[in-house]
Amino acid sequence: MTPRRFDPGSPLAHFRHVSIFHLIASGSCVVKVDGVEPTRISAGDILLVPFADEHRFWNGDDVEMVKADTLIRASNVPGLSQINYGGDGEALRMVCGFIESSEFLIAPVFRTLPPLLIDRTGDDKVSALLASTVQQIITLTEEAAPGTEIVLGRLMEILFIEVLRRYTLQLPPNAKGWFAAVNDPLLSRALQVVHGEPARRWTVDDIAREAGSSRTVVAERFNAVLGQSPIEYVTHWRMQIAAERLRSSRESLAEIAAGVGYESEAAFNRAFKRVTGETPGRWRDSAPALI
């Protein structure tokens, strides 16, 4: 764990999207997230809490919950911390971590994810990459070697991507949302070109041509899976990029507007307020000062 980097009360907390991981190294317990039935987990299981919702772990019937942040202590591995807590029951050992990214770019993508994802690496269908990554993470948490924290960070990123990739591949054909769109051959091509060239003067015909389909089919697929027209999606994607740049850079409004396809700063201001409810200037001013 690296709790020093994740403080929900810090001035920059609203600027980040945080997803929490738990890898069960040994033992078993029950996990509960609001809106999800209690689930028993055991060695080899991976838990992803996409929105860092409050969650509880326990064993047995008569338990007293304790806040995890009151139990954190220093570890023998530089940069990591540990928690030792419990009674005489079955021992549970797990590795905890988190991935953080831009709130403005990632949160809209995650809206269709469930509050808790569980991937069981004991399943015969699990990928070799996932199983080996989990084992490397568990092993590294016991090594007090230089660079351990850096390597663990990269392995967590691999784990994060692989869990989401597997979730996407397992979605039913009628699923909706961004991950379902990525799993759709036509929409995935469309999203790839739009994301790659946000400043391009996109029309539905252009998107359809790049996706190798017709204007009508592309419009129908966007509305059915993403709940937006192609041009609405383009506009929202541009504003997500602009919102992130407004708070993470010192670029002028004109530079940011041009970077997301607006020749007129006034037109950009109107589009930004329509999507976010605030002007670009107010959005930037409400952010903590850049260091």
Give 146's DSSP letter.
T
Q: SS3 for 128? A: helix
Rounded Cα distance between 125 and 119, Å, is 11
**pTM, full prediction:** 0.73
The architecture (CATH level 2) of 178-285 comes to Orthogonal Bundle (1.10)
**Phi (first) and psi of residue 23, to 5 degrees:** -110, 120
Per-residue pLDDT of the chain (291 residues; tens, 9 = 90+): 333 344 444 333 444 578 888 999 889 999 999 889 999 999 889 999 988 889 999 987 767 888 888 888 887 776 778 888 887 778 888 888 888 776 666 666 777 889 999 988 766 566 677 778 888 888 888 776 777 778 888 888 888 888 888 889 889 988 999 999 999 999 999 999 999 999 999 999 999 999 999 999 999 999 999 999 999 999 999 999 999 899 888 999 999 999 999 999 999 999 999 998 889 999 888 765 544
Name the amino acid, one letter, at 289: A
Q: Which residues on neighbouring strands pair with residue 97, listed in sequence order?
A: 21
Per the listing, tokens 């996109």 go with 202
**Identical fold between 3-169 and 178-285:** no
pLDDT for 88: 75
Extents of the domains making up the chain: 3-169, 178-285
Class of domain 3-169: mainly beta
Give 92's DSSP letter.
-
